[in-house]
Amino acid sequence: MIKPLKALGALVVLAALIGGIPLALLTFYGNPIPQQLPGAEDVAHLFTTNDSIGFLLFVVVWIGWIAWATFTLSVVVEVIARMRHIPTPQLRGLSAQQGAAAVLVAAIAGLGAPAAMAETPAEIAPAVQTGEAPAMPAEQPSTETQSAQQDTSAATTEDLVITVQPGDTAWDLAAKHLGSGSQWSEIVKANDGKIQPDGGALRVGEDPFLEPGWKLTIPGVPAIDTAPQGAEQQYETVTVERGQSLSSIADEHLGDADRWPEIAEGSAHITQPGGHHLEDPDQIDIGWTLRVPTDAPAVPTHQADEQPSHQEEAPSSEEAAGAAEAAEQAVDAASDALPAAETPQADTATDAAPAGAETPAPASAPSAEAEETSTVPWTGVGSIFAASILGAVLARRLYTQRKRRADQRIPEAATVDLDQVRLTRIEDPTVLGFVDRALRTLSALQLRDGQTLPDVRLARLTDDHLELYASAPHELPAPFEATDDPATWLLPRTAALADDETIADIVAPYPALVTIGTDSDGYQILVDLEHLAALGIHAASQTSMPVMRALTVSLATSQWADDLAITTVGVCPELEDALGSGRITYRETVTELLDDLEAKLERDQEVLEELGHDSAQHARQAGDATDLWTPEIIIIGTDLSLTEKRRLQAIVDARPQIAVAVISSDQHTDLSEWRMHIESLEAARLEPLGLELHPQHLTDADYDAVLRALGAASTLEPTDEVSDEQLATEEAPAAPLHPVAIVQPSTSTILTAAQRDAEPELPAEHPYIRVLGPVEVLGATGPLEDKRLAELTETVTYIYLQPGKAENDFRADLWPGKRVADSTRHQRISRARKWLGAADDGTRYLPRANGADGSYTLDDHITSDWAYIQQIAELHQDATSEQLAEALKLVRGAPFAGGGRSRYRWSITLQYRMTDTVLDVAHELAQRALDAGDIETTLWATQRGLLVESLHEQLWRYRLQAAAYDPDLHQRITHDLEAQIAAVDDDYDLMPETEALMYTTPAAHRIAI
């Protein structure tokens, strides 16, 4: 009863101070504010009157009003801080008032009482959840093994060491562990000067601000033993919360409420706050620490027949292999017994999947491997973000590839470090193009009808629809579909969208649209930063930085933004150089960019007012001076000063609204109502919608991998065969105005026309796989349904190029983003085995699975065009010209061409290697032919190489040199190159030496004057 009485007394005192003081002043003195402003004579009279008592009373009354006002302000600030569960801002000169307010508010809140300790702040866990906003994952309790690893350098063996959680305050911890929040100073004293993981520390006499992740010693509270004497059972610790009992905790953590005695037995020795022990299982208090066994949950009786025991002995490798073979044989037998039309269609995308066979996985699912989240890369990356990262690295690598010479290589780190295969399992290769085309289609339709675009604040991408959530009701044309909410519209992912010609001149309508995470269904959530104007990231620094990095990289690599200007402070300083796109700039301080923003505000608002638009976004959508409205995204990862907050707030609130949006991780600043509360890297909530998310994020390791991949993709390193003299010659600057040297055609050739034009001889005795162009499997003689051709071709090619891949990889690569049943995989393999057939001696070209991992390999008789060209490439200069030509004849196009967007995503690193190898072979043959004056062979070899990379400059230079003797031929090749640039990339900049060969007249054709 003591603490409730204290809370009631504090409430009475607070009410008396806030309400009683002004009532008393007004009653006994009246309104101190005069009815009219005093004149000069009134002021002079005040200081010259002999009525000293009246003057003194006047001064005292005003002092009273000022004291009341400052105290009331302190109470308001304290209450707001408590409600938002953040440290109370310190107001200069008001420390006494704030101290009194803190004591009274804390007493009223009952922070020392057990009941209040178990309450979760409303900002972090709303008391009421709607059906649309799923509950956030519960915080995982730390195991005692982790507790044993905590830093105890400042603690004795008797003292408890705890880890600060988001929202913890010194008062909270004292209330929880010491029985009274007023003992917070004891915690400060016990940890005075102790350096924390982020470099901060508590210090006596300073504000006791805490950061999540800090390790604090709780003085006088015994540390929890790792286990009772002689026990071998492993435990985890949990803290009792409001409404919990031993039975409910057992049900939650052990899967069986009847196992509560195990918790009671394991926790009986723990000294709880106040010196209590668990003696009566019906008497546990909020804030107590309990030990819960960490063994696998017991299976309830009613599930015993449905679930196999997880503790059964694992089968041996021989048993596993036998089981896999038996399953395949069963599938073979079943499929032999059924007509083709009745064969199950479990793995056909267009057919209805049988229950449990194949279901879409959440968009952010990284793979099928059952790995620990902490060790699996890209766990915070969704399909859109993965596609953006891959697109950025691919674009950098492609640009570098086009520039490289025959004696240069792109480092393997461009593909190895990034683990691109795992990213391809996450990405949806169609999603970027779909979202971009959908939004431009919407813009084109609205312009056609003379209508404005909706102010989209949020978008959600599901397996079936793109959902748009506008800030106000809006009418949209077909194919957009209306819902019960006039501000919400759906676009089916199968809808017919505008063609390239229609959207060619359409400006990206929502360039600041960015993914922020996935909802409980695994669907991606996007927000339009330009509409939000500001987004706050509320989290501890070690949690907010991965989220800030993800937002920065996502915006910097966005492929549906025509143009963005991103400025960061305290976030991703390395990204500007790594990307080299000109889209992102890093500043050391916020002050550096505020002057530029304020100048932009004044300039852009003047233009907007002249044009009659209320925002830059509307002006851009209307097509008025579109070059002025590039969105500028400011991403700030540092705390803001009061002046910086005020200046930024003025820019964000200004109307007409300019094209500026701010993302800030300053927890004490809310530039708008939009903010993400991030409790962990697995749980966040978007306000003011209350939408719970799995926040998109880049861990330190993931971000480093992105930087290394971008850097490597932009790097050319010499091969081992290049001498220092050659390297110096290659790096010498080109002289673009020198006339082109002419190679005179020779009567002798290194290859005849017959040798060049003859068709390549392909093996016919056994199946043969072609991947240098459209993928084909030749020589497969078994039965095949036409609709199965694509999937079986990919399966056979995968097994050939990735022999021995484990079953988990097999599933993740061939069914990316989906979970498939064993029967689905077995059916696919069985069909492929029958299709390939067997050799003359009866040996199956696709044998049974190997070992316990269920991996597959093809028979050694099967070969491919890639295998042959690798053999020739390894010979390099030792290969004959005829061998080089035979290898190039096998090239029919880019590797895996025609595979579509959904197939062969696992081959991305192989595509790089194949392209490099083909170009090297083409280089070698073209250089030999050019040196020999064999013009036709030079043109033929370069044309074969350009099939895999149509804008490779070294091969074009060979062609221009070879054609220099013939002005008409030279002009045709120049025009071909110009047309290729226009078709591939209008903004592509040729190397100076290439331009020199294109536009400088060959010496022999210059006219003497």
Q: How far apart are CA 509 and CA 470, in angstroms?
A: 14
- Of the candidates 950, 951, 925, which has an alpha carbon nearest to the alpha carbon of residue 938? 925
Residue 135 in 3-state DSSP?
Answer: coil
Region class of 851: left (phi > 0), else alpha (psi between -120 and 50), else beta: left
Provide the whole-model pTM.
0.60
For residue 67 the two structure tokens come to 């004291």
Q: Is the bond into 656 cis (omega within 30 degrees of 0)?
A: yes
Rg of the chain over Cα atoms, rounded to whole angstroms, equals 36
Which of 125-158 are b and which e, b meaning 16 or more Cβ less than 10 Å from the residue's Cβ?
bbeeeeeebeebeebebbebeebeebbbebbeee
Number of other CB atoms surrounding residue 708 within 10 Å: 17
CB 696 within 8 A of CB 516: yes
What is the CA angle 408-413-416, rounded to 5? Answer: 130
Q: Is the bond into 479 cis (omega within 30 degrees of 0)?
A: yes
Residue 563 in 3-state DSSP?
Answer: coil
CB 548 within 8 A of CB 380: no
Query: C-alpha distances in angstroms, 979 versus 430, 535, 922, 988?
Result: 27, 44, 22, 12
Please count the residues of the chain: 1009
Q: What is the pLDDT of residue 194?
A: 85
Q: How far apart are CA 663 and CA 537, in angstroms?
A: 7
Residue 152 in 3-state DSSP?
Answer: coil
Q: Which residues contact 728 (CB under 8 A, 6 or more apart)?
A: none
What is the CA angle 728-730-731, rounded to 5? Answer: 65
Q: What is the pLDDT of residue 134?
A: 33
Residue 458 in 3-state DSSP?
Answer: strand
Number of other CB atoms surrounding residue 269 within 10 Å: 15
Domain ranges of the chain: 1-36+51-109, 158-222, 235-286, 756-949
CA 376 to chain CA centroid, Å, is 14
CA 326 to chain CA centroid, Å, is 42
- Of the candidates 535, 531, 490, which has an alpha carbon nearest to the alpha carbon of residue 511? 531
Place of tokens 């939408």: 691
Q: How far apart are CA 701 and CA 380, in angstroms?
A: 12
Averages of pLDDT over each 10 residues, the chain, 1009 residues: 60 82 75 61 60 68 83 83 59 72 70 31 32 35 37 50 77 76 82 79 76 83 53 69 76 77 81 71 76 58 37 44 54 48 40 42 40 60 89 86 82 60 77 91 90 91 93 92 94 92 88 92 92 90 89 92 88 90 88 85 82 78 66 90 88 85 84 90 91 93 88 80 46 43 72 91 92 94 90 94 86 80 85 92 88 80 95 90 95 88 83 91 93 93 94 92 89 91 81 84 44
Concatenating the DSSP letter of every residue in 36-63 gives S---HHHHHHHHH-S-HHHHHHHHHHHH
Strands (E), 870-942: none
CB 441 within 8 A of CB 497: yes
For residue 501 the two structure tokens come to 């010609």
For residue 710 the two structure tokens come to 């971008």
For residue 742 the two structure tokens come to 């002419």
In the chain, the amino acid numbered 988 is Y
